[in-house]
Structure 1
Amino acid sequence: MKKKIFRVSTVPISLNVLLKGQLNYLNQYFDITAISGGGEDLEEVRNREKIKIFEVEMQRQISPIKDLVSLLKLYFYFKKEKPTLVHSITPKAGLLSMIAAKMARVPYRFHTFTGLIFPYRKGVMQKLLIMMDKLLCACATNIYPEGRGVKNDLIEYGITQKPLKILGNGNINGIDLDYFNPDLYSEKDSLSIREKLNIGQNDFVFLFVGRLVGDKGINELVKAFSELPRSSNQNIRRNILLLVGLYEDDLDPLLPGTIIEIENNPNIISVGFQKDVRPYFAISDVFVFPSYREGFPNVLLQAGAMGKFSIVTDINGSNEIIENQINGTIIPVRNEIALKLEMMNAIKLLKKNQDLKNICRMRIKNMFEQSIIWEVLKNEYQNHVVNN
């Protein structure tokens, strides 16, 4: 009989997007159940991954009464179903499921830290977040930082004395190289996509994919782009900045001047959220990701898989995926001058070096291909639960 393993996240979109394909693969070897708040995403997980699901609403924010209700629901479900292993991947789900699993005496309690919030908070809120993560780790049996940067922060802030193990080269699901494949888009396809966006064949396209918020470095990106000099390369008609993502005005709004520039600069094209980002990678020349903080950004794996050279800031995750001057360049955080210079350098570099596309894709293939991550995780599970 297969051992029961529960995968838990706060909201179902994390299971649906971050673990796509992984749960179906693991279900061949274990009896997998996905647990999170309900909704279309959770139903999609059940249908696509062909696994069981269980709904437990969990608040992303601190909400003592609702959190207690969620904790009790998880405890009673664990007590009834008796899983061998519970594995959580998001902060609130991690805290609640690790406490509930310990109370229910689940033998193995895994948590993966995909990113940390407390290093970027101050005062009472930081102390509260640190206390919550310490409690999470106290209840977990195994702790997995998604990358080296996350691991270093856990050690620096003294969150736990337990061993911290990075699976493979980091990341929680790897990248599907068959899906993120530049060969799926012919030159004719790319030209057609460019035409629809009013981008010329000889325009040089800088791409950003993500939330259009201050923490992603959008203020610096827009300012650096607006100050780029006209290219001296006669083969380049104009520079284009293509933004793919939504604003979050209620959480982290952009500066008013940034919004005005985006709306009025004819060379900045904002297309909003797109479920399939591959066409935008296909028509771009350079990916730019000047974020202030990350855990292990999947979008950089996508960019590399699509053969794109990336300009990134020196932060957790980004500096683990990008090897400076090999598959991208690394610049200081919040530095629009350095960003502008590297954008100018990238235009010259890419026009000279046509082999960069293969170099960027091969680095991702060798380190983060999905099958590698899945196999490592399967072995980790088997090493713990097979004899239980």
Structure 2
Amino acid sequence: MKKLIRITTVPLSLDKLLEGQLRYMSAHYEVVGVSSEASYLERVAKREGVRCHPVSMTRKITPFQDLKAVYQLYRFFRKEKPFIVHTHTPKAGLVGMLAARLAGVPHRLHTVAGLPLLEANGIKRLILNAVERLTAFCATKVYPNSKALCQIMIQERLAPAQKLSVIGAGSSNGIATAYFSRAHFSAETLTELRETLGLSSAFVFVFVGRLVADKGIHELVAAFQALHEKGVACQLLLVGPLESELDPLQATTLEVIAEHPHIFTTGYQNDVRPYFAIADALVFPSYREGFPNVVLQAGAMELPSIVSDINGCNEIIEHGVNGLIVPVKSVQPLFEAMYTLVTDLDLRNQMQANARSSITQRYEQQVIWEAILEEYRTFDRDE
């Protein structure tokens, strides 16, 4: 059986962004998962039923540590002789593709699920541009996980067009719609959760993700404050961890989150489904994404979504059909969309009715997995 090595910078990405996919591929290839944080990686590998190999990688610009990771991966590839190395996340892509090229791995694949460089300026932007171009140079194929992201990569000259392709309708892993379903939760369970969190019966907006500036949290908090100043009865539920190192929130925003009586936080949650189930709408005003799983999950849980007009989000959401699309980094349009969802019951019910079917018809997980496997099999046929 030919060997497939899948690599992410941190095992959380293997765990959440690619959940189930390694196990599926292991029926067709000998699969090895590679990431940092050995103990976490071991748990993921055990669940997926595959072998794992830890390599220390960082998410920051750390040249000496990155060179060490390249060397360790090079030695590992020379020993394992994989048929395919497939990387995800920027740092894993850089070190993984460089090491795979040096080791002579025949099929070097990299999935792009977002471009941090789009929010960078100056020297940092130049460095990140160079990193993406080097990653693409070392790869034999590059897979942006949305059609718009593919066009951005071509426009920014980050990779040759002939190396780029989008698998299926987009997304790196699709969504298990049977799992992301309200059917798993009784009314009693949801009532108990609302009471535990301190939520009232008023409208609940939910945000799921890292609480960082790039996710539009500053604009979201400002728009929510404006709603309350207008006398709109609603609540904001923030589900996800603060990340103070890479992209911290401003002190003023943190203060509002901590002190506003109608903003509730949960921290990181391993299972986000109950929080979708007690909410009335997702609000996700991110600055940049690849193909956001959160929007897929919310739709499968029958929530209309307010998203920013960026690649990925504007491919999942059709304005006025299963959600609303607003300009990126804009408080007033976000406020108006949130106000509309609270006050226009007919529109909200219509979008809610369309939410789940819009996901099941296009992004069912099994369909995405089969499309990725078919891509791998093209390499078998080329041998």
Decide whether aligned partners of structure 1 residues 195 and 137 sit closer, same or farther in structure 2, where only a CA change above 3 A counts: same
* Structure 2 residue matching 1:354: 3-state secondary structure: helix
State the 1:165 CA deviation: 0.5
1:278 is the counterpart of 2:300: no
The answer for the alignment partner of 1:174 in structure 2 is 174
The answer for the alignment partner of 1:77 in structure 2 is 76
State the 1:66 CA deviation: 2.1
The answer for the alignment partner of 2:57 in structure 1 is 58
Take 1:128 and 1:337, find their aligned partners in 2: how far apart are those partners?
34
State the 1:76 CA deviation: 1.7
Preserved contact between residue 168 and residue 368 of structure 2 (Cα < 8 Å): yes
Stretch deviating more after TM superposition (132-141 or 243-252): 243-252
Preserved contact between residue 137 and residue 159 of structure 2 (Cα < 8 Å): yes
Stretch deviating more after TM superposition (162-171 or 34-43): 34-43
State the 1:256 CA deviation: 3.0
Take 1:80 and 1:261, find their aligned partners in 2: how far apart are those partners?
53
Take 1:12 and 1:250, find their aligned partners in 2: how far apart are those partners?
18
Preserved contact between residue 205 and residue 236 of structure 2 (Cα < 8 Å): yes
Decide whether aligned partners of structure 1 residues 241 and 256 sit closer, same or farther in structure 2, where only a CA change above 3 A counts: same
Deviation string 1:212-237 (CA, Å, 9 cap, x unpaired) is: 22222112211211221334xxxxxx
State the 1:246 CA deviation: 2.1
1:330 is the counterpart of 2:332: no
Take 2:373 and 2:345, find their aligned partners in 1: how far apart are those partners?
39
After superposition, the CA RMSD in angstroms is 1.7
State the 1:352 CA deviation: 5.9
Decide whether aligned partners of structure 1 residues 127 and 272 sit closer, same or farther in structure 2, where only a CA change above 3 A counts: same
Take 2:353 and 2:332, find their aligned partners in 1: how far apart are those partners?
29
Decide whether aligned partners of structure 1 residues 252 and 368 sit closer, same or farther in structure 2, where only a CA change above 3 A counts: same
Stretch deviating more after TM superposition (245-254 or 182-191): 245-254
The answer for the alignment partner of 1:47 in structure 2 is 46
The answer for the alignment partner of 2:218 in structure 1 is 219
Preserved contact between residue 85 and residue 385 of structure 1 (Cα < 8 Å): no
Determine what percentage of the aligned residue pairs are the same residue. Answer: 43
The answer for the alignment partner of 1:145 in structure 2 is 144
Decide whether aligned partners of structure 1 residues 5 and 270 sit closer, same or farther in structure 2, where only a CA change above 3 A counts: same
Take 1:252 and 1:87, find their aligned partners in 2: how far apart are those partners?
27
The answer for the alignment partner of 2:35 in structure 1 is 36
The answer for the alignment partner of 1:131 in structure 2 is 130
Take 2:252 and 2:70, find their aligned partners in 1: how far apart are those partners?
44
Amino acid at match of 1:90: T
* Structure 2 residue matching 1:207: 3-state secondary structure: strand
State the 1:385 CA deviation: 2.2
State the 1:386 CA deviation: 4.6
Preserved contact between residue 73 and residue 96 of structure 2 (Cα < 8 Å): yes
State the 1:248 CA deviation: 2.5
State the TM-score, normalizing by the size of structure 1.
0.93
Take 1:222 and 1:191, find their aligned partners in 2: how far apart are those partners?
25
State the 1:187 CA deviation: 2.3
Amino acid at match of 1:190: L
* Structure 1 residue matching 2:349: 3-state secondary structure: coil
Name segments (4+ residues, structure 1) moved above 4 Å.
none
The answer for the alignment partner of 2:283 in structure 1 is 288
Decide whether aligned partners of structure 1 residues 324 and 104 sit closer, same or farther in structure 2, where only a CA change above 3 A counts: same
Amino acid at match of 1:277: V
State the 1:135 CA deviation: 1.5
Preserved contact between residue 84 and residue 385 of structure 1 (Cα < 8 Å): no
Q: Aligned match of 1:299 in 294, 299, 313? A: 294
Amino acid at match of 2:167: L
Q: Please show how residues 1-388 of structure 1 align to structure 2 within 5 Å.
A: 2-161=1-160, 162-201=162-201, 203-228=202-227, 229-231=230-232, 238-350=233-345, 354-386=349-381, 388=383
State the 1:181 CA deviation: 0.5
Preserved contact between residue 350 and residue 356 of structure 1 (Cα < 8 Å): no
Deviation string 1:126-178 (CA, Å, 9 cap, x unpaired) is: 11221222111111111111112321221111112233110011111111112
Q: Give the count of matched residue pairs.
A: 380
State the 1:387 CA deviation: 5.3
Decide whether aligned partners of structure 1 residues 103 and 249 sit closer, same or farther in structure 2, where only a CA change above 3 A counts: closer
Deviation string 1:334-366 (CA, Å, 9 cap, x unpaired) is: 211111111111123345653533410111111
Deviation string 1:256-285 (CA, Å, 9 cap, x unpaired) is: 332332222211112222221111111100
Amino acid at match of 2:376: Y
Stretch deviating more after TM superposition (301-310 or 157-166): 157-166
Take 1:21 and 1:336, find their aligned partners in 2: how far apart are those partners?
37
Preserved contact between residue 204 and residue 278 of structure 2 (Cα < 8 Å): yes
Decide whether aligned partners of structure 1 residues 128 and 321 sit closer, same or farther in structure 2, where only a CA change above 3 A counts: same
Stretch deviating more after TM superposition (144-153 or 302-311): 144-153
Take 2:37 and 2:235, find their aligned partners in 1: how far apart are those partners?
40
Preserved contact between residue 112 and residue 145 of structure 1 (Cα < 8 Å): yes
Structure 2 residue runs of 5 or longer lacking an equivalent are none
Take 1:141 and 1:248, find their aligned partners in 2: how far apart are those partners?
34
Take 1:108 and 1:251, find their aligned partners in 2: how far apart are those partners?
32
Deviation string 1:76-96 (CA, Å, 9 cap, x unpaired) is: 221122111111112121112
* Structure 2 residue matching 1:227: 3-state secondary structure: helix
Deviation string 1:285-314 (CA, Å, 9 cap, x unpaired) is: 011011111121111111111010001111
Amino acid at match of 1:270: T
Stretch deviating more after TM superposition (175-184 or 222-231): 222-231
